[in-house]
A and B are shown apart, each in its own frame.
Chain A
Amino acid sequence: MNQYTITNTLRTILFSMMGIGLLCLVLTWMGDDHSHTRFWSNVLHNSVFFTGIAIMATFFMAASITAYAGWYTAFKRVFESISAYLLPGFIIMTLIGVAVYMHMNHLYHWADDKSVATDEILKGKSSFLNKNWYLFGTIVIGAAYVFIAMKLRSLSVAEESAHGEENFATHRRIRTFAAMFLPIFGFTSVVLIWQWVMSVDAHWYSTMFAWYSLASLFVAMMCLVALILLYLRSKGYYQNLTKHHMHDVGKFIFGISVFWTYLWFSQFMLIWYANIGEETIYFKERYDNYPVLFFGNFVINFVLPFLVLMRNDTKWKNGSLSFVAIVVFLGHWLDFFLMVKPGVLHTAHEVGGHGAEHGATEAHGHAAEHVSSFVQGFTFPGLLELGTMLGFLGLFLFVMFNALSKTRLTSEKDPYVEESLHHHV
């Protein structure tokens, strides 16, 4: 079976997931404060997470093509299909950008003109952290990513029907686009992460942050790939893959989890060691008010994959690999939760609600007193957050499976496909 078709059962499941997500978004919107902080932060969190996964899938393809890697070619279509989510993902991010532009929410402290006018640090950063950069940066960078991802995809599909082609001309064009993507991705992915995620804590910055969150996204992407492959194999597709392919996917989950931990710890230790108030505030906040998530993150994103996936047979067995993939995927979703929520909550206290009537200093006092208590939907993900995640996952998987069903699962004309089919670790 080299042609995938979405079954009606799967379509029903995915659409009901989207329905649950939409319902949760509406419920969140209704039970929210007047600037809808919980709603907007949930949308931002999930939108960044799933768009980021699509970006990392594109990066993985581009890097593998440029590096002459052949092992994954048999299931290259999975990565291509994930990258198809780039377009809806960037559209949602653009909508958030428009909302930030129109001052419809209080996600970002730097987007509040009153705060910027009185705050030296925000004023100093305002040449980059402003609504124009946010909206148009997202659009321009997103357009470049979507263009290259679509080129990689369409050329790869065209390659399959090319007859009597000399010298792998189509593949050479794919390689050109893949090589073009790498420097573009290298310089712009960090910009996206800075403005989407890191600027939630507008006063704080870390030079390791972009690496750290991209590693997080990479692991989440590989976990999804493992789960999708296991699902498709259980349905009778991709029978040409062997345990050695799954072994390598497992190795990626294992290896990049360790890399993520290295960055998680390095970022923490340097800031802890230097002991500069402006920097430690990020961790002080999470350490004091989010200890379960902060340390739980480390356990499920490092200790679990490290100990379980260390042996080679746990990477071959469907049970252990899918268990780790599910838990680690949720773990990195929680990781992004912890990156986004505390900063948004802080900003909401600073500029939302009280900020309008009171002066900046007084709002600060309020913030300190609110932050230490449990806030629904911020201190720990509630059912609405999980529902929203299911909704985004449903959309993501629908786009992905839809793209997957458009063409054959294994490209037979790719110059590396034979190497991939005989892949042996």
Chain B
Amino acid sequence: MAHKEVIFGLYNDEQDLLKAVKKAKAGHMEIMDVFSPFPIHGLDPLLELEESRIHIAGFIYGMLGTLTAFLSMTWIFTKDWPIIFGGKPYWSVPAFIPITFELTVLFACVGMVVTFYIICGLGPGVTNPTLDDRISDDKFCLAFDKAYVNEADARALFSATGAAEVNSKNL
């Protein structure tokens, strides 16, 4: 991982953070990242983030689940081990529907979670450095990379927008 020197401000309120992000955007300062314990309304369009494509992946996983369930039950109950249940035909589509539904949901959920973990580089044994532990609790963090943003500019912005703390960290 490339070495990064990061300067970041911690805010107590998400509205202050939003103002700081707006100001940074107006001053053409390149924001490295924003951290928050919960999703902040209106932050995504401010940061010009693209809409996530994970739901497209979710749809494909869901379809995969539908096909898996339906085709496997079709094969099992007509070719592999045909059994008559309650006088119904071997290929009893209505009886397959609940399981098809369940597997669709299961594949879509598990697939999306795994995809999300892979995209974020998370997994067993992976440690991700955090700027500050409190950003998962009660602090809202705006971070700049010193390689792209002048440290004095960043400090000026933080003090102008009321950051509770300003810290630096090397990642």
CA distance A265 to B86 in the complex (A): 19
* Interface contact A269-B95, CB-CB below 8 Å: yes
CA distance A86 to B97 in the complex (A): 38
Contact indicator per residue, chain A 312-327, by CB within 8 Å of chain B (1) or not (0): 0000000000000000
A273 contact from B41, B42, B59, B95, Cβ within 8 A: B95
Q: Is A126 an interface residue (CB 8 A)?
A: no
B86 contact from A268, A269, A273, A310, Cβ within 8 A: A273
Q: Is A275 an interface residue (CB 8 A)?
A: yes
Residues of B within 8 A of A424 (CB): 41-42
**Residues of B in contact, count (CB < 8 Å):** 10
* Interface contact A273-B94, CB-CB below 8 Å: yes
Q: Is B87 an interface residue (CB 8 A)?
A: yes
CA distance A272 to B86 in the complex (A): 11
CB closest chain-A residue, reference B51: A312
Residues of A within 8 A of B86 (CB): 273, 275
* Interface contact A272-B94, CB-CB below 8 Å: yes
CA distance A424 to B39 in the complex (A): 14
CB closest chain-B residue, reference A268: B94
Contact indicator per residue, chain B 132-144, by CB within 8 Å of chain A (1) or not (0): 0000000000000
CA distance A205 to B65 in the complex (A): 35
* Interface contact B94-A275, CB-CB below 8 Å: no
What is the minimal beta-carbon distance from A424 to any residue of chain B, in angstroms? 7
* Interface contact B41-A269, CB-CB below 8 Å: no
Residues of A within 8 A of B97 (CB): 265, 269
Contact indicator per residue, chain A 267-286, by CB within 8 Å of chain B (1) or not (0): 01100110100000000000
CA distance A265 to B97 in the complex (A): 9
Contact residue range for chain A?
under 10
CA distance A269 to B42 in the complex (A): 45
* Interface contact B95-A275, CB-CB below 8 Å: no
Residues of B within 8 A of A310 (CB): 59
Within 293-312 of A, Cβ neighbours of B (below 8 Å) are at: 310
What is the minimal beta-carbon distance from B93 to any residue of chain A, in angstroms? 10
What is the minimal beta-carbon distance from A242 to any residue of chain B, in angstroms? 14
CB closest chain-B residue, reference A270: B94
CA distance A200 to B4 in the complex (A): 75
* Interface contact B87-A275, CB-CB below 8 Å: yes
Contact indicator per residue, chain A 86-103, by CB within 8 Å of chain B (1) or not (0): 000000000000000000
Residues of B within 8 A of A265 (CB): 94, 97
Residues of B within 8 A of A275 (CB): 86-88
CA distance A268 to B86 in the complex (A): 16
Residues of B within 8 A of A268 (CB): 94
Within 90-106 of B, Cβ neighbours of A (below 8 Å) are at: 94-95, 97-98
Most buried by A among B59, B94, B95, B98: B94
CA distance A196 to B170 in the complex (A): 73
What is the minimal beta-carbon distance from A261 to any residue of chain B, in angstroms? 10
Residues of B within 8 A of A269 (CB): 94-95, 97-98
What is the minimal beta-carbon distance from A199 to any residue of chain B, in angstroms? 26
CB closest chain-B residue, reference A425: B41
Within 249-270 of A, Cβ neighbours of B (below 8 Å) are at: 265, 268-269
Residues of B within 8 A of A273 (CB): 86, 94-95
Within 31-61 of B, Cβ neighbours of A (below 8 Å) are at: 41-42, 59
What is the minimal beta-carbon distance from B91 to any residue of chain A, in angstroms? 14
CA distance A269 to B95 in the complex (A): 7
What is the minimal beta-carbon distance from A270 to any residue of chain B, in angstroms? 10
CB closest chain-A residue, reference B41: A424
What is the minimal beta-carbon distance from B36 to any residue of chain A, in angstroms? 17
What is the minimal beta-carbon distance from B39 to any residue of chain A, in angstroms? 13
CA distance A152 to B97 in the complex (A): 42
CB closest chain-A residue, reference B42: A424
Residues of A within 8 A of B94 (CB): 265, 268-269, 272-273
What is the minimal beta-carbon distance from B62 to any residue of chain A, in angstroms? 10
CB closest chain-A residue, reference B98: A269
Contact indicator per residue, chain B 120-149, by CB within 8 Å of chain A (1) or not (0): 000000000000000000000000000000
CA distance A76 to B95 in the complex (A): 42
CB closest chain-B residue, reference A271: B94
CA distance A418 to B97 in the complex (A): 45
CA distance A272 to B95 in the complex (A): 9
CA distance A310 to B97 in the complex (A): 20
What is the minimal beta-carbon distance from B63 to any residue of chain A, in angstroms? 11
Residues of A within 8 A of B88 (CB): 275
CB closest chain-B residue, reference A272: B94
CB closest chain-A residue, reference B85: A273
Contacts beyond the supplied A269-B97, A275-B88: 10 A-B pairs with Cβ under 8 Å: A265-B94, A265-B97, A268-B94, A269-B95, A269-B98, A273-B94, A273-B95, A275-B86, A310-B59, A424-B42
Residues of B participating in the A interface, judged by any CB pair closer than 8 Å: 41-42, 59, 86-88, 94-95, 97-98
**Top 5 closest A-B pairs, CB basis?**
A269-B94, A272-B94, A265-B97, A275-B86, A268-B94
Residues of A participating in the B interface, judged by any CB pair closer than 8 Å: 265, 268-269, 272-273, 275, 310, 424
What are 17 residue pairs bridging A and B, where the CB atoms are less than 8 Å apart in the complex?
Answer: A265-B94, A265-B97, A268-B94, A269-B94, A269-B95, A269-B97, A269-B98, A272-B94, A273-B86, A273-B94, A273-B95, A275-B86, A275-B87, A275-B88, A310-B59, A424-B41, A424-B42
